[in-house]
Structure 1
Amino acid sequence: PIITKNEIKKKLYLSHFLYVWNARVYEFGIILLIVDLYPNTLFPSSLFALCLCLSGIFFSATIAKIIDNGERLKTVKRTIFLQRISVLISISSLLLVKIFEIESTKISKFITLCIVIICGSIEKLCAIGNKIAISRDWLVKISNQYESVNENFLVELNTQMRSIDLFCKLVGPTFIATLNGFSTKISAFFIIISILISNPVEIYAIVNVYNNVSELQIPKVKFENNEVDDDDHNDLNKINSIQFFKNLKIFQKSVICLPTISYSLLYLTSLSFGSATIAYLLSFEDIDSFKIGILRGASTIFEFSSTFLFPFILPRIGIIKMGLISIISEFLFLLPIAISFIMKLSYCRWLICILIPFSRIGLWCYDLTAQNLIQLYVNDSDRGSFSSIEESLINFFELLSCLLTLIFNKQEQFAIPVYCSVGAI
């Protein structure tokens, strides 16, 4: 039987909640487990982050091609399945080392870290594929199914999906950190059990959405765009290079090329409650991990508020002004931090604590603006190619951010990443 619009939304939100919950718990939990394997050093976790960024840069084009050429339901099911398998292997390898108390030799640690990095890279690529498929394609088709003028319903879907994401970002890491405080084994077992229980429900929900949205069942329009001969398929690097430049051409011709570059630049930042800012704040005696936890929670609540502000303000000023106001507000909130470092004020750290949460409202409103622009102004057949370049840019700027904090890793050098973060905006 055909289900109603509200039931479609419930199934979509259920699937997305389970997907994002597992992703958020994993991305935070894996860092805790790596730190447990390599105590007293941040190098392995930094190496893990760098490898994930590099995998996103080099293989986004290939993932986009697979998503563009594949049947909608099959590609989404495969990305979810491969993502979950890679997480299970990664967490299990770390858990086995812990359970059987394998001798902590350099070789055993190195092998385990290699497994974790390889599985993490696969998980990252599957996440990119799922984002391209669901956010850039499925949501558009679902909104087309139920609205002749679909922009308002599309905004509703985008904001609700983002709300779910931010809720999981707030609760997931806090929950897994609490479990990890009791035992790393408990946190690892929780991640594994959570995946095994939720995965069938997640797949059922997304299949149900597909079966009841006729727009999703219409095959994608494919253009004859193959310029690679069969003999060339032995040369994977050549194929990837050709595909990358094809995607780059599509990206460069798009009317929203510059707004997307602008959005990607925001990932060149050390002014978030990520590892760099946390390490800087913890270097002061009057800031402890408990205060950091409160600040992260407050920051996520501010981010969550953007999902209410965006749909409220958007109809009144339009999407272009919405984007401009969002990015300007982020800049204005972060500018005093840069000025305080230039003037070498003693309370720089407190400005960071106070102003970063406010800046996140503008950041996430701009994120929603960019997503709506891509959904509305990029053709169905080009969405995967366009998004692959977007993901490559995001990963490139994240990589630069990691390199900045690796090079300028002392408390007194943190001003350099701060200037770059504000300058990128």
Structure 2
Amino acid sequence: MASDNELRLSSDDDRSSTTTTTSTGFTFEEVVGVVEGEQDQDQEVLLPRPGLTRSQAFNLYLSHAFSTWNARGYEFAAVLFTAAAYPNTLVAAALRMVIVYFAMILFSSYVGHWVERSPNRLRTLLSTIVCNRSSVIAGSFFWLLILSQEDLVGPDAVFVMPKNYVLKGAGFAVAMTLGIIERLSASGNLISMERDWVVTVAAPAGSPYDLSHLNAVMRRIDLVCKLLSPILISVIITTLDSVRIGVIYTGLTSFVCIPVEFFSAKKVWSHNAVLQVPKPLPPQHTASGGEPQAGTRSCMAQLRQFFKGLELYFSTPVWIPSMALALLHFNMLTWRATFITYLINIGYSLTVITVARAIGSVFEISSTVITPRGIEYMGKAHHHGYSPVTRDDDDEAGVRLITDDREENRNVQTLTGLQRFGLWGISWQLINTVPVVLALWVIAAQRDEAENLPTFVKRFIAERPPLDIGWSILLFSFLAFSRLGVWVFDLTTQQLTQTLVAPTQRSSFAGVENSVVNVFELLGAGTAIAFPRTEQYRWLALASLVSVVVSWLMYAVWVHRQRGHLVHWEKLGEGFCLRRGNW
């Protein structure tokens, strides 16, 4: 008998049945990879059971925390550096934003493709770390040169360069290019970690460090870094009154974090036998000679690969939830630069905005605590009506993963819980977005009425009348509540894609998914540029509500198609009749 820490794998001549999957969605191919074809019939192989010890989980979280801290910090710092380099204009910031979005749309799928066909998990992750940190360090050098020109520093500055617009523009172009590399490498790091490492090592559902738990903790780390890392950079720049000190801090932080990330990632890999097994390569990635021929392909072949990635994306059973989540990135009622600028323009102070944003972050972080429990609760009750999504590619494994009925039941419960709790999350997002849009329209109307007052009346009142406190509380409260729903939906959709996409396609799928997300990010930015006036933002808010409605409809249709229903109306009827009987 195999111990509890081992998987018993046996060959089977019956190729008609699909390979049983664990709760994390990986098959025998992902656990063993190269074993197929090397064992005799009826031979049994005992391998370590997927899972993590406490020490391994700590090092996994530590590596992810440093990567996310640097990525979130540089994402915010680049905005500050651009504003300092080109004050009194938004052209440079808008240009940088549009170019970065276009680059992510074009190249994210290639990043996912590269992660997918890299068999050594440790080498792939470390490569993304080196590329990311190197681009930040080199970018900080060019930002320092740009911000050291005499028209951007005080007369008592230690290091001053003569003003030269040509060199400044060239330096900005190089810094922007390095910023694109930074974003792409950060995306590769996230794909490698979330779609490969985490899924591979996750324990079966219901066990410590199962996929729901790992996803929640990883996203909690991301959200905490998203909140604290920009704040620390802002405090350093404000306290020392020097953007150049912020540039130096950014470069040094990236340099110092490299050995910590290397050590923690390597420690997880070296103590986990499942991670050390080479990944199976998809057949389409291997040429007749046995090695990928990516370096010799023409531009047309690269373009065909791009469209092939889109074809892969839309052929998966979870492209609708993924697209629904991506559509939410069009929503302009989030704490992005355009929304913050709008709030400042209509009269809210930076202090009020900062407090409201911090409260929203609390709800975002709380979603990582609620989601694993919500998935478990929603999966236990009434999970009938589930129609499993089969994967034909698993037939090629030729090996069955022997699991007991209890584990298989946990898998079904987890998938049911993901579908139902994801619907709860997007519904919560929709319900709370409606009062946000209503409050914003009322506040905008009150502002318009004040602007239209006669001139002699304006002389006897304040130059800008105070904003209505009640509607302001309504606006920021429901905006904070909505952040809970969107991140619940994000976590459940991520686990659905981790579970229902074939192991040899997860990374490529994630790369195309990032491209789709950036399409909607670009559309949101372009819409804000097309309607730049403050009084037009109410229409952007209405368009954001429409995007949330469409997202809800897409996901609801998908859930109905999978489960055959959205709500147990018979249960609601029974409860209503019972309540009337008690009355």
Aligned partner (choices 475, 478, 488) of residue 355 of structure 1 = 478
Q: Which letter maps to 1:309?
A: I
Tell which deviates more after alignment, 350-359 or 305-314. 350-359
Superimposed CA distance per residue, residues 87-121 of structure 1 (whole angstroms, 9 cap, x where no aligned partner): 11111111133343323443233112211210111
Aligned partner (choices 399, 406, 419) of residue 320 of structure 1 = 419
Q: Which letter maps to 2:248?
A: F
Partner of 2:330, secondary structure, is coil
Q: Could you say which residue in structure 1 is the equivalent of 2:139?
A: 90
Q: Which contiguous aligned blocks of 4+ residues in structure 1 show a shift greater than 3 angstroms?
A: 97-100, 146-152, 226-236, 339-345, 347-352
Alpha carbons 1:281, 1:349 under 8 Å: kept: no
Aligned partner (choices 309, 318, 323) of residue 370 of structure 2 = 309
Alpha carbons 1:306, 1:364 under 8 Å: kept: yes
Q: Could you say which residue in structure 2 is the equivalent of 1:192?
A: 251
Between Structure 1 and Structure 2, how many residues are aligned?
421
Give the CA deviation at 1:353.
2.7
CA distance in 2, matches of 1:226, 1:325: 39
Q: Could you say which residue in structure 1 is the equivalent of 2:103?
A: 55
Give the CA deviation at 1:233.
6.1
Q: Could you say which residue in structure 2 is the equivalent of 1:288?
A: 349
CA distance in 2, matches of 1:369, 1:63: 23
Change (3 A) 1:52 1:422: same
Change (3 A) 1:116 1:7: same
CA distance in 2, matches of 1:270, 1:148: 36
Change (3 A) 1:231 1:212: closer
CA distance in 2, matches of 1:244, 1:384: 14
Q: Which letter maps to 1:172?
A: S
Q: Equivalent residues in 2 for 1:9-88 (5 A)?
A: 9-70=57-118, 71-88=120-137
Change (3 A) 1:214 1:47: same
Determine which structure has the larger helix proportion and give its number: 1
Structure 1 residue 336 and structure 2 residue 395: aligned?
A: no
Superimposed CA distance per residue, residues 335-393 of structure 1 (whole angstroms, 9 cap, x where no aligned partner): 12333456654357654433221111001111101111011111110101211221111
Q: Could you say which residue in structure 2 is the equivalent of 1:379?
A: 502
| Two-structure CA RMSD over aligned residues (Å) | 2.3
CA distance in 2, matches of 1:228, 1:59: 22
CA distance in 2, matches of 1:323, 1:156: 16
Alpha carbons 1:232, 1:239 under 8 Å: kept: no
Partner of 2:284, secondary structure, is coil
Give the CA deviation at 1:249.
2.2
CA distance in 2, matches of 1:351, 1:218: 53
Aligned partner (choices 161, 168, 174) of residue 218 of structure 2 = 161
Superimposed CA distance per residue, residues 68-93 of structure 1 (whole angstroms, 9 cap, x where no aligned partner): 11121111111111111111111111
Alpha carbons 2:528, 2:540 under 8 Å: kept: yes
Aligned partner (choices 517, 528, 546) of residue 394 of structure 1 = 517
Alpha carbons 1:160, 1:307 under 8 Å: kept: yes
Alpha carbons 1:233, 1:239 under 8 Å: kept: no
Q: Which letter maps to 2:430?
A: F
Q: Which letter maps to 1:253?
A: S
Superimposed CA distance per residue, residues 18-59 of structure 1 (whole angstroms, 9 cap, x where no aligned partner): 111111111111111111111122221222221111111101
Q: Percent identity?
A: 29
Q: Could you say which residue in structure 2 is the equivalent of 1:179?
A: 236
Q: Equivalent residues in 2 for 1:87-166 (5 A)?
A: 87-99=136-148, 100-143=159-202, 146-147=203-204, 153-166=210-223
Alpha carbons 2:205, 2:211 under 8 Å: kept: no
Q: Which letter maps to 1:400?
A: L
Change (3 A) 1:232 1:29: closer
CA distance in 2, matches of 1:235, 1:107: 36
Partner of 1:225, secondary structure, is helix
CA distance in 1, matches of 2:214, 2:354: 30
Give the CA deviation at 1:270.
0.9
Q: Which letter maps to 2:235?
A: T
Q: Could you say which residue in structure 1 is the equivalent of 2:269?
A: 210
Alpha carbons 2:363, 2:481 under 8 Å: kept: yes
CA distance in 1, matches of 2:518, 2:146: 31
Superimposed CA distance per residue, residues 187-229 of structure 1 (whole angstroms, 9 cap, x where no aligned partner): 1121122112111111111111111111111222223215989
Q: Which letter maps to 1:322?
A: F
Structure 1 residue 407 and structure 2 residue 524: aligned?
A: no
Alpha carbons 2:115, 2:192 under 8 Å: kept: yes
